[in-house]
Every structure is written in C-alpha cells, then in structure tokens.
C-alpha cells in the first residue's frame, strides 16, 4: 500500500431513495435487486451502497452491499447473499417487492475501485464476485477486457453468482466441490494463475475472511507484490 498512490477522490453520494424496479432470485440464497435511484451519483466499479431499513417504531438496520452494475446502467444493481438470520439480507430476500422504496446511501468507498487505470487481476470467492462483475461489465463496455483478468472460486456452479456471465467474460472458474468441464474440483493451483497475474500491476481480492487469506497467499505465491493487493473481505471470526 505504501508504494501505491491513492486513487483520485472517488465519487460519493448521500442518502437518497431507491425504488425496486426488478427483483429476482437466481438461487435459493441470492436475491438480485435493480433500483431506480433518485439523484443518482454515478459510481466507480467496486464501490458499494448502504441499504437502510426503518421499522414503524423508528428502529433502523443498515448494511453495505457491493454494486454489480456498470456505471452506465440506468439502474443500480445489487446482488445480495441471504445470510442465516440476516436482518437486512433476509428482508431483501423474503419481503422486498417491486415498487418498494428503500433508503440508500452511496456510492461509498475509494479504495476497492478499478476504472481501467492499470492492468489488474481480480480474485473473488462466492458472493465476493459482485464488485468484480461491475468491473467486468465496465471493462466490456470500454473494450478493455485485456486490462482486467478474473479468477473466481466457488463450491459449485450453482453457488457462483453471475457464473455464466463470468465464464463468457473469460474468467478462470475454479470450482472446489464439483468438476467443471475437464477441471477436477480443487481451489486454484499457483501454476494455474500465471496467465492471469502476468502484467497485472494491481490485484483485487474479495470474499470471506478465509477466502481472502487464501487468495492473498495464492497471489503472493504467484509472484504478485503484496503492496499491490487490495482486499475487501466480509464475514466473521468468533
């Protein structure tokens, strides 16, 4: 991090209202929401929004979710993994409907962003692919797919959000509990990483705490400099 200059100040938005235009559940544990956002501030790929829910007695709950949509998309897309007992994710999965209006705040964050400034590699696990999808959509629209290489890891095809889209992009997909084509189930081996890390001047890691630790080590073993690695991790240790 010392050797990496900070990005120019990233866009930031205050509290606003988002109306749900589309909602679907690609799997039992995922819900995809597409919002019209009042007075939207365009984001950079990798940024996130805060969703705040408000109960009749004034109680509120808020959580951050990465943006999946390209900045050019007229709607804001979030892909939310439903966690066991998740107060906000559970509501979004079980209760939210088209037409509902939610309090949103964003975009937020200026570190885990990529705007095509440098060649990069992204390594994401499970629902950690969401901010990377925003980056691949941006890269595709700008015609700079060669500047962003992607490695994604999931237990199964079913457990990987945006699996078909990521495969079409050219991402290396490593499934750990089922075979994928000719590839036997296993996390990525360091020797599978060469073509993806070559020439990358920055690396993005997104996933659970355990995944981020694994992916950071994998990148280091593949020759990526530690101070070029940017991490976004979620989840808990007890």
Partner 1 sequence: MAITRGFIGKRKPSRPDRLPPGQYDTGSSWPTLTAEATPNLDPEKWSMTVDGLVDSPQTWSWREMHALPGSTYFGDIHCVTTWSKFDVTFAGVSVDTLLEAAGPTADAHFVMAHSTTGYTTNLPLEDVTGGKAWVVWDYNGEPLPRGHGGPVRLLVPHLYFWKSAKWVTRLELMAKDRPGFWEQNGYHDRGDPWLEQRYQGDP
Residues of this chain that interact with partner 1 (CB under 8 A) are 1-3, 6, 9-10, 12, 14, 17, 52-57, 59-64, 85, 87, 90-91, 95-96, 100-103, 105, 108-112, 209, 212-213, 216, 220, 226-227, 229-238
Q: Taking the complex as a whole, how short is the minimal distance between the CB of residue 23 and partner 1, in angstroms?
A: 13
List Cβ neighbours of 181 (8 Å cut-off, separation of 6 or more).
none
Nearer Cβ to partner 1, position 111 or 115?
111
DSSP secondary structure, 112-169, as one string? S---SSS-EEEEEEGGGGHHHHHHHHHHHHHT-GGGEEEEEEESSSTTSTTHHHHHHH
Nearest to partner 1 of 144, 209 (CB atom): 209
Bridge partner residues of 80 (DSSP): 31
Supply the minimum distance, in Å, between the C-beta of residue 174 and partner 1.
20
Task: Name the DSSP letter for residue 44.
Answer: P
Least distance in angstroms from the C-beta of 14 to partner 1: 6
- In sequence order, which residues have a C-beta less than 8 Å from that of residue 209 and are 6 or more positions away? 233, 234, 235, 236, 237
**Cβ distance to partner 1 smaller for residue 91 or 172:** 91
Q: Which is nearer to partner 1, 40 or 169 (CB)?
A: 40
């Amino acid at each position: 991090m010392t050797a990496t200059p900070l990005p120019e100040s990233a866009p930031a938005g205050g509290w606003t209202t988002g109306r749900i235009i589309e909602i679907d559940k690609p799997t039992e544990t995922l819900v995809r929401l597409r919002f019209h956002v009042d007075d939207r501030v365009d984001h950079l790929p990798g940024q996130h929004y805060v969703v705040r829910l408000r109960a009749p007695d004034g109680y509120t709950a808020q959580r951050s979710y990465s943006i999946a949509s390209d900045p050019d998309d007229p709607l804001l897309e979030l892909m939310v993994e439903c966690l066991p007992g998740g107060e906000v994710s559970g509501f979004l999965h079980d209760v939210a409907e088209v037409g509902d209006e939610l309090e949103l705040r964003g975009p937020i964050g200026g570190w885990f962003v990529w705007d095509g400034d440098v060649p990069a590699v992204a390594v994401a696990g499970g629902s950690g692919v969401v901010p990377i999808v925003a980056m691949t959509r941006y890269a595709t629209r700008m015609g700079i797919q060669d500047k962003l290489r992607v490695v994604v890891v999931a237990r199964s095809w079913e457990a990987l959000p945006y699996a078909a889209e990521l495969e079409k992009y050219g991402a290396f997909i490593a499934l750990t509990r089922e075979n994928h084509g000719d590839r036997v189930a296993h996390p990525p081996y360091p020797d599978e990483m060469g073509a993806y890390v070559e020439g990358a001047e920055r690396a993005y890691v997104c996933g659970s705490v355990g995944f981020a630790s694994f992916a950071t080590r994998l990148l280091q073993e593949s020759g990526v400099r530690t101070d070029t690695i940017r991490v976004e991790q979620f989840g808990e240790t007890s």
